[in-house]
Amino acid sequence: MIWGVLQFPGSCDERDALHACEVHGDGARLVWHESRDLDGVDGIVVPGGFSYGDYLRAGAIARFSPAMEAVAEAAAGGAPVLGICNGFQVLCEAGLLPGALLRNVELRFRCHQVELIDERGGERLSIPAKHGEGRYYAPEEMLDELEGKGQVAYRYAEDHNSNGSVRDIAGVTNERGNVLGLMPHPEHAVDPLTGSTDGLAVFDRVARVAA
Amino acid sequence: MTVGTPKYRELGLTDSEFELIVEKLGREPNDVELAMFSLLWSEHCAYKHSRKLLRRLPTEGERVVMGPGENAGAVDVGKGYAVAFKVESHNHPSAVEPFQGAATGVGGILRDVFAIGARPIAILDSLRFGELDSVRSRHLLDGAVRGIGHYGNSIGVPTVGGEIYFEAPYEHNCLVNAMCIGFAKTADMVRAAAAGPGNAIVLMGASTGRDGIGGASVLASAELDEGDDATKRPTVQIGDPFEESKLVECCLELLAKDLLVSLQDLGAAGLTSSAGEMASAGGVGIDIDVAEVPLREADMEPFEIMVSESQERMLAVVEPERVEEVRATAEKWQTGSAVIGTVTEGGAIRILREGEVVGEMPVEALVDGCPLYDLEPAEPEGWIYGNRTTLEETASPEEELLALLSAPSIASKRWAFEQYDWLVGSRTVRRPEQADAAVLQLPEAGNAIAVSIDGNGRRVACDPYAGTIEAVLECAQNLACVGAEPLGLTNCLNFGNPEKPTGAWQLDRAVTGLADACNALGVPVVGGNVSLYNEGPDGPIYPTPVVAMVGELPDASQVAGNAFVNEGDAIGLIGPFEPNFAGSELAKQRGELKMDLAQPNIADVAAACAIVRDAVRAGKLASVHDVSDGGLAVAIAECSIAGGIGCETNVEHLRERGAQPTEALFGEGPGGFLVSGDRAALEELGAVLVGTVGGERISIGAGDRSLSVSLAEAREAWTSLAARAEGYAA
């Protein structure tokens, strides 16, 4: 599978994501934010960082980019889309994923290793998280609906929900399951030398939609 | 401005300096010229009290790619790649406004590194504040940490290490030293010298406003008085990491496409400094038309435009036929570019407004004409910094250990470093506190680098010569702990007023110590920065040479951590460690600091570093940690806490090295490595065996001062910083 990684002004993790995609798939390339053409990639990563400086509101400006229009079309067609951190925020702003990300309950940026539970199989993943606005929020009724439809993809393990996310939610999918967003960074967990390789399981989970 | 005081004095120039300017110009300078001279002739830009001393430092080595004089130093790491690095202070702005001061400190040091064509791959920072029980110190700590995080996190460069010390003499002059590491193909690197008369001068990045005007002369070269915070705030610069993020990518793309003749960042003294230095380095002149500079405020005066310290700007020299392509690249990255001048023949820097000359000076006079001063050092008669007793001599050894572990300078800095992204870039092999030095893998070059930044001002205050040598040795030891061999060193000399005898003496002795240590270790100094006049109403700061060293290691997968790993492993001590009470954290807590420090033996420490380095590379050690603040007992406790496993040890043999039991536990000095691993392997390395890993307690035999604490108590003390760092209540 060939991955495309979006690149906005202010993206920080796009090179890490590109590397992770190369490790995971059969190839990967960057997609410039002004490009309406996704260049024939099979799956898309909307990477972390501070697109447009996170000015106005995290993800609020990036969602209007031409590349995001293309991503919305691809997502509607069933293509796998993975939003990481700022990418998760962008996908929520774009309405491709439900809910919103608020400032961490302690009002500080925090970078640390967290443990996640994959809601499907119960698999436990150790992956770094780093964000100041990662507190997942959605209204109660919406949360019940998401849970009912199996759209909660990842939860923080006990004692690992440091940002105050509602119901310990770390990542969600759209109803169809092909769009996944999460706050922790699987692209930073693909090399044993820098921590763990558990992040590859997240890429796998998204890629399986395409299979 | 006081009526009757000449303008030049308000701008920080002395009468004789002003007379020299008049002599060099052949007339009195106008306001534009005076503003430019006052900035470039400030200590911050001209190093007029330190340049002569700095000539003592060794700057050459076979791995040096760029040395002092460029925007950053650089060393060869093999396969055609180089690592660039520099550390710079942003002390005075941070004392006034810690968040923006620290943020723009990071922004500035990043620009120094990408100005030579290297992609920034890591940030480290060295911070000093007053004691943590001071509300002001907590305010400055919180602001500086947030500011560093804000800039570094947003721009996608990991903050991989650093240090924080809390000492009363920094109460009114906190230190914020930021370091950046860059990585480049050596062939793609660029120097700062302007060349080619007729070439265009292009200002890249942000527009120019009134922020930071006079920062270099008004802030950085005068002592801060009480009550200055409010009046000086407008001169602190405001950072925009998003703008810089675009500027980094734009500049690196321009360099990769070979579209620039040279590149220089705009830092202190803004356009004045960067244009002046580029012209001086290239032996050419420069014309700048201030009317072509994109402004934030329309009514800015020419002198304001020339000295503005607005952030996120770079100055490039571009061949005329390539200007369009340069501008198109800037547009792609949504950042600014404007042709504001031309490289000229002859040696004049001319400032024009819509073609009309408003200032004209010989480059040589402006950049290199400032007189250099000799210092008049005199050793103080005794300890000038005061003492405060926070731990009584009657305390039990357990109480002493816990007091040291919870001392803010020793306790875990997790609270701070978790506010930084330490992993972006996928190079960080060792996270902060996992090992004694940060380790970054370089897959492109097939190896890795290690970085350490150190400088214990208290020990330097006790003996500026020996203390500075110790700072260099501490770096070398930290590198050895991860199996790295030093390639080069940079430094930031944070001192008090060099025009006073004590300040001059501290600076003189420290630079001599730095030179002697670097010569003995064979490590070249590839760059440096000086921050003087760090004095407040209570006197000068501790003399604080912050030393940063970069080393190379062949295989990042062989790096040992500092945590005890295996139950039953032997624990050993390697190196010529001779614990001494003088200048120690315990001496501080007991209120017994004085002018005294043991003289280190550099050669013996270097030999121990080589043994440890080789052992780490050969995978012979399960853990390795250098013995530093708080002595051997604290080092033992840190290894246990990090590993979540206790130990049974005995340090009585240190009596043979002249240490009393309390000194054996908590005495400090260079040269000690605490290692764990297979007993036979440790013996083979010549380690003195001191105990065994295992259990739930940290027990240390030391005659009548033997102690034992539970792992939980020790951890609680060592992790107590977060609770005390937050909150503004006294």
**pLDDT tens track for B265-284:** 998 889 999 999 999 999 99
- Over the stretch A161-195, which tens digit does the pLDDT of each residue have? 999 999 999 999 999 999 999 999 999 999 999 98
Contact B425 A16 (CB under 8 A): yes
Residues A10-31 have a mean pLDDT of 95
Contact A188 B423 (CB under 8 A): yes
Q: Are B518 and B473 in contact (CB under 8 A)?
A: no
Give the 3-state secondary structure percentages of chain B, helix then strand then coil, rounded to 5: 40, 25, 35
Contact A53 B241 (CB under 8 A): yes
Distance CA B277, CA B284 (A): 10
pLDDT of residue B230: 45
Distance of CA B176 to the CA centre of its chain: 8
* Residue A19 Rama label (left phi>0; alpha psi -120 to 50; beta): alpha
* Chain B interface disruption, residue of A56, A104, A111, most B CBs within 10 A: A111
pLDDT of residue B218: 46
Contact A16 B426 (CB under 8 A): yes
Q: Residues of chain B whose pLDDT is less than 50?
A: 1-2, 215-221, 230, 232-233, 729-730
DSSP, collapsed to helix, strand or coil, labels residue B346 as: coil
Distance CA B396, CA B402 (A): 10
- The β-bridge relationship of strands B200-205 and B313-318 is antiparallel
Q: Are B667 and B579 in contact (CB under 8 A)?
A: yes
Contact B441 A194 (CB under 8 A): yes
Name the residue type at position B630: G
Strand ranges of the sheet holding B64-66, from the earlier edge strand across to the other edge: B64-66, B73-78, B81-89, B175-185, B119-129, B159-166
- Of the candidates B194, B62, B45, B193, which has an alpha carbon nearest to the alpha carbon of residue B530? B45
Question: Shortest Cα distance from B357 to chain A (angstroms)?
Answer: 39
Residue of chain A whose alpha carbon sits nearest to that of B422: A111
A-chain residues near B426 (CB < 8 A): 15-16, 19, 188, 191, 194
Contact B419 A16 (CB under 8 A): no
Of A21, A85, A119, A133, the active-site residue reads A85
pLDDT of residue A125: 97
What's the pTM value of the predicted model, to 2 decimals? 0.94
pLDDT of residue A210 exceeding 90:
no
Instruction: Name residue B441's beta-bridge partners.
Output: B448
Return the H-helix or E-strand segment holding A117: strand A110-118
Of A33, A92, A187, A188, the active-site residue reads A187
Of A52, A54, A110, the CB nearest to B418: A110
Distance of CA B186 to the CA centre of its chain: 24
Question: Shortest Cα distance from B245 to chain A (angstroms)?
Answer: 6
Q: Cβ-count burial of B389 within 10 angstroms (0-12 exposed, 13-18 middle, 19+ buried)?
A: exposed
Question: Which tokens hold the place of B287?
Answer: 């014309």
Q: Are B458 and B583 in contact (CB under 8 A)?
A: yes
B-chain residues near A15 (CB < 8 A): 425-426
To the query of whether residue A85 is one of the catalytic residues in this protein, the response is: yes
Ordered DSSP codes for B510-577: HHHHHHHHHHHHT--EEEEEEE---EETTEEPPPEEEEEEEEEES-GGG--BSS--STT-EEEEES--
Interface A-B: count of C-beta contacts within 8 A: 84
pLDDT band at A150 (very low <50, low <70, confident <90, very high): very high
Tracing tokens 């977060």 back to the chain, one arrives at B722
Q: What are phi and psi of A113, to 5 degrees?
A: -80, 130
**Catalytic amino acids of B?**
44, 90
Of A55, A108, A191, the CB nearest to B419: A108
Strand ranges of the sheet holding B707-710, from the earlier edge strand across to the other edge: B623-626, B673-677, B570-574, B688-693, B647-650, B697-701, B707-710
Q: Cβ-count burial of B364 within 10 angstroms (0-12 exposed, 13-18 middle, 19+ buried)?
A: middle
Of A55, A110, A194, the CB nearest to B426: A194
Question: Which tokens hold the place of B194?
Answer: 């302007």
Find the helix packing angle between B241-256 and B135-155, rounded to 10°.
Answer: 40
Q: Are B264 and B71 in contact (CB under 8 A)?
A: yes
Contact A53 B155 (CB under 8 A): no
* Chain B interface disruption, residue of A86, A194, A197, A200, most B CBs within 10 A: A194
Distance CA B199, CA B340 (A): 11
Of A16, A53, A111, the CB nearest to B420: A111
Q: Are B495 and B531 in contact (CB under 8 A)?
A: yes
Contact A112 B418 (CB under 8 A): yes
Of B419, B420, B557, the CB nearest to A193: B557
Interacting residues of B423 by C-beta distance below 8 A, sequence separation 6+ = A111, A128, A130, A185, A188, A194, A195, B158, B431
